[in-house]
Amino acid sequence: MNTLNRYLTIYAALWKNSVTRELGFKTNFLLWIGVEILWFALQLVFIGVLYQHTDTIGSWGKWQVVMLIGASHFIQQIFQALFLVNMTNLSELIRTGKFDFFLLLPVNTRFVVSFRQVDLGSFVNATTALGVIAYAAHQMQFTPALMHIAGFLALCVVGIAVHYSLMFLLATVSFWTVRAQGIVWAYYNLFQIARLPDEAFRGVFKAVFTFALPMLLVVNVPVRLLTDKLADPWSIVQLLIMGVVCALVSDWWWTKSLKRYTSASS
């Protein structure tokens, strides 16, 4: 408990630092919120146009897909708020040798590398996504049970953990290549696939984005649970297994990659 309290105190200090930084650049803070909301709105408009020409995509109706996009945006924004900046900055820390200072800190290095900055604007955008999910449910005249809501949020946490583990694994490639921002941003751009119903994919593409890069599991499974579209619990088990596997592989690769670091002085 003492260790947990210590890390919570450290994390609270990191939050305070992030708030101070954001307040120093208020215009930039508000501008990026506006940009993200506009991008989200354009995706919803695209779905509206798409469903003028079809009634369903597989078994997914219009408002179910809107809910899917809302859930994808929610997971993406929470991930972006907590981790994205830190993942993209790891390469620069290694290149400049500033990573030395993190190794010297009397805390877990992975913890401080992963959580040192928080993007507060993304929390605002995540709230917008929840509003879209609620509106889509209203349009479907559907009220999810409390159990389904709790399960949805829990699976969203698992999905965020999967994204974090995979992107952290890719970011640690910097220990080998010095620069890895391109790899990290390429993975981030693949988030867009999660906005599509899994039934839109077939064959090798569905296999890749279910098991190798589990984009479809991360969002489709929580939404299927929320809307009671799960035929069986196997999809949930798959997502949980992928979460554990990704975490273990990411931690193993991090330990291996640290041995490659030569520091700024060598």
- Over the stretch 76-89, which tens digit does the pLDDT of each residue have? 999 999 999 999 99
> Is residue 263 domain-resident?
no
Question: How wide is the angle at C-alpha 41 spanned by C-alphas 27 and 140, nearest 5°?
Answer: 135
- Enumerate residue ranges in the chain where pLDDT < 70: 264-266
> Is residue 265 domain-resident?
no
> Is residue 189 domain-resident?
yes
Per-residue confidence (pLDDT) for residue 180, from 0 to 100: 73
> Is residue 90 domain-resident?
yes
Per-residue confidence (pLDDT) for residue 94, from 0 to 100: 87
Which residues, in sequence order, are CB contacts of 86 under 8 Å at separation 6+? 113, 114, 115, 116, 117
Rounded distance between C-alpha atoms, residue 213 and residue 24, angstroms: 37
Per-residue confidence (pLDDT) for residue 36, from 0 to 100: 87
Please state, as a whole number, how many other Cβ atoms lie within 10 Å of the Cβ of residue 34. Answer: 11
As given in the structure block, the two tokens for residue 203 are: 């064959």
Please state, as a whole number, how many other Cβ atoms lie within 10 Å of the Cβ of residue 139. Answer: 14
b/e code 99-126 from CB counts within 10 Å (16+ = b)? beebeeeeeeebebbbbbbbbebbebbb
**HSE-up (13 A, CA, CB side) for residue 177:** 13
Per-residue confidence (pLDDT) for residue 160, from 0 to 100: 95
Domain count, the chain: 1
Per-residue confidence (pLDDT) for residue 237, from 0 to 100: 93
Tallying the residues shown for the chain, one arrives at 266
Q: Where are the alpha helices (DSSP H) in 24-119?
A: 26-50, 62-79, 85-96, 99-104, 109-115
pTM of the model: 0.91
> Is residue 264 domain-resident?
no
Per-residue confidence (pLDDT) for residue 213, from 0 to 100: 83
> Is residue 44 domain-resident?
yes
Tokens 């670091």, residue located: 261
Per-residue confidence (pLDDT) for residue 265, from 0 to 100: 61
How far is it between the farthest Cα atoms of the chain?
64
> How far is residue 83 CA from its own chain's centroid?
8
Q: Which domain holds residue 68?
A: 2-258
Per-residue confidence (pLDDT) for residue 95, from 0 to 100: 85
> Is residue 266 domain-resident?
no
